Structure 1
Amino acid sequence: MTSFRRLAPFVLGLSLGAAVGPTVYRAAQAQRLMLFGMRQPLWRYPADLRLMAEDVEFPSQDGVTLRGWFIHRVNDDGTPAPAVVFVHGWPWNRCGNRAGATVLPDRTVDFLEPASALSNAGFHVLLFDLRNHGLSDASPPVTFGVNEARDVIGAVTMLRTRKDVDGARIGLIGYSMGANAALRAAPDCASIRSIVAVQPTSANVFAPNAARDVLGPAGPTLIRMGGLIHRAFGAPPFAAIAPAAWTPRLQDTDVLYIQGAGDRWGSLADVEAMAANTPRARPVIVAPSSERYGGYLYVVEHQAEIIAFFRETLGGESG
């Protein structure tokens, strides 16, 4: 019995370490992603789909160097045509997301398939890496749409310098953090015609929900601690990352919101609040899903619907 009593604390310590260790590791990795983003390698290229593309480099509104691909519309004759900009989520890149790249439970989300469909439908397409992601320059911390909106403004500004782009007919399609950035940036981009916002989310909703799902019961407490570190690096408080407070400014922009029904990180109520504050919101599309990534896949699974929305709001191929 004496031996057991002596060993009990040691055995309990090992048990707690085994249980807590993976949680602490995942929390540390999530904190790193919050601060510095992720450099997922480019895992697919326009040439894989026989798309005509050029490498582009341009500054964000505040001078961060951004890099991406400008994909020409099929049968491009050089005359001005509408353009659609993809704005990726956290911690993705211009390709979308490659499953298994981080500690987050995820699925592959491919941007090049819908980009190809849009190109064939007569739209130029811009795919680019946000700051702290892909091949674009670093400017930490990640702010889940606040500073990233400056990257969207830079992308639109660059497009409007091109003679082959009709600067009055530009649309955005953003995912999660990218949707937040698109919603925040559009009013400052002088007449963005339309946005497809795929699962935008308020940080006060997303952070504790994702933390609980990824880290377990201790997740919300750990993310509150992580939020303090995030702010110490210059990020806004989670309460300030709230798209529903930004959307009333979208006076001239048609917005199509998409939200997964089974999303455990975001919420339909949050997206419906954004839509209620959006002057020209379409009815929210509720995508069948059992987790967050099912909602992200709606675009690639309903390409004709997305093309029809942009055709309606951006017009056809003629100037």
Structure 2
Amino acid sequence: MSKHPTAEQMAIIQAMAQGNTIINRTPVLKTPADYGMDYEDVFFPALDGVPLEAWFIPAEGSDKLIICNHPLTFSRYGFPGHLEPWSQFAPVNVEFGKIYKALHDAGYNALTYDMRNHGHSGAANAGLAAYGLFEWRDVAGAQVYVQSHERLKDMTVGLFNPCNGGNSAMVAMSKCPDLFEDVRAFVCPQPCSSRTASEEIGKLQGIGEFIDLLDREQQRLGAFPMARMTPHHFAANVTVPTYVIQVKDDLWTRPEDVQTTYDLLGTPDKKLLWVEGTTRRFDGYNYFGENPESMVAFFDEHMA
């Protein structure tokens, strides 16, 4: 006889389903000016027309461009985990401005955008989180914008796409490979599979034996099945040199999930770094802001 969740467990399942399915926006707290950089407010459409808000951060005299996006629940700013109520989700402040600054100081222009349903960009797809199955259109839209822009179209391009942004890039590379033929390098911190994350967080929340029920609850709210929301289905189509990092003891996932994504990548030119000494996933998002050297070296090697 199958076990049924208690009323308390069912409340946790429903809260997790809501949180995993419907994106709650986080604020854009700082601009590149707060890190001493000039920038321009720009905007462009995703491939399906959703308006995306962005910053262009110029590096004088450079013909190299890094296109950046962000994880779920973040914005181009990062994540305000030092403030309520976001600290209840993850008490880590993530500032991607430090990464943009490192790239800028290394001679790279940067274009960084809020993905759909995040930051200041447009709402779409009923506000649903899709682990790249909708958001790939934003990555493709950024490529179209750059390739049609008079100032940017002749630049050498690399990608900094963490977590859901990286998942989305892998889907986009699968669906529109022609848009990525000229991309030289792809830095992808912490790509993630929906089911693996739900299983590990579910254990922490005391509902680990009810992940199938959580999956059904999320689908009831409009989400895709968890089994579809993984980069494993798309990684083989990534032929760009790729640098993956992952917090090895991340409480919200398992190392084998990222290892599988890495192993499936279709490029022989790839690198994997395990971030050790922490169990907090969000420390992985701060890693290159605090330790930009290997990221810059990877871009320098492939974008010379």
- Which TM-score band applies after superposition, normalised by the shorter structure? 0.7 to 0.9
What is the rounded CA distance, in whole Å, between the counterparts of 2:173 and 2:66 in structure 1? 13
What secondary structure sits across from 2:121 in the alignment? coil
Q: Does 1:266 align with 2:253?
A: yes
The alignment status of 1:292 with 2:281, answered yes or no, reads: yes
Equivalent residue, structure 2, for 1:52: 38
Matching residue of 1:92: 74
Question: Aligned pair in 2 of structure 1 residues 311, 163: CA closer, same or farther (>3 Å)?
Answer: farther
TM-superposed CA distance for 1:290, in Å, is 2.0
Contact 1:67 1:135 in 2 (8 A): yes
Does residue 111 of the first structure (1) align with residue 76 of the second (2)? no
Cα distance in 2, alignment partners of residues 225 and 56 from structure 1? 42
Shift, 1:28, TM fit: 5.0
CA distance in 1, matches of 2:217, 2:241: 37
What is the aligned partner in structure 2 of residue 4 from structure 1? Answer: none
- Structure 1 residues 281 and 37: CA distance shift in structure 2, 3 A: farther
1:212 aligned residue: 203
Q: Cα gap change, 1:311/1:270 in structure 2, threshold over 3 Å: closer, same or farther?
A: same
Q: Closer, same or farther in 2 for the Cα pair 1:208/1:106, shift >3 Å?
A: farther
Report if the CA contact (8 A) 1:183-1:247 is conserved.
Answer: yes
| Aligned residue among 277, 294, 300 for 2:264 | 277
Distance of aligned partners of 1:281 and 1:227 in 2 relative to their CA distance in 1, 3 Å threshold: farther
8 Å contact kept, 1:68–1:126: yes
Shift of 1:229: 3.6
Question: Percent of pairs identical after alignment?
Answer: 26
1:149 is aligned to 2:131: no
Q: Under a length normalisation based on structure 2, what TM-score does the superposition of the two structures give?
A: 0.86
Shift of 1:281: 4.4
SS of the residue corresponding to residue 44 of structure 1 reads: coil
- Deviates further, 137-146 or 291-300: 291-300
Separation in 2 of the partners of 1:176 and 1:55? Answer: 24
Tell me if the contact between 1:61 and 1:154 (Cα under 8 Å) persists in the aligned partners. Answer: yes
Output the TM-score relative to the length of structure 1.
Answer: 0.83
Structure 2 residue 98 is matched with structure 1 residue 125:
no
CA deviations over 1:176-212 (Å, ceiling 9, x no partner): 2112112222352232221111111111211221233
Q: How far has the Cα of 1:168 moved from its partner?
A: 5.9
1:233 Cα offset (Å): 4.5
CA distance in 2: counterparts of 1:173 and 1:291, whole angstroms: 21
Alignment partner of 1:225 out of 192, 196, 213: 213
Q: Distance in 1 between matches of 2:217 and 2:51?
A: 26
Aligned to 1:6: none
**Which residue of structure 1 aligns with residue 3 of structure 2?**
none
Is the counterpart of residue 134 in structure 1 residue 119 in structure 2? yes
| Cα separation, 2, equivalents of 1:50 and 1:151 | 28
Matched residue pairs, number? 288
What is the aligned counterpart of 1:190 among 175, 180, 183?
180
Pair 1:307 & 2:289 matched = no
8 Å CA contact 1:87, 1:182 repeated in 2? no
Post-superposition offset of 1:230: 2.9
User: What one-letter code is carried by the residue in structure 2 that aligns with 1:60?
Assistant: A
CA distance in structure 2 between the aligned counterparts of 1:200 and 1:211, rounded to whole angstroms: 19
Contact 1:81 1:166 in 2 (8 A): no
Aligned residue for 2:49? 63
What SS does the aligned partner of 1:181 have?
Answer: helix
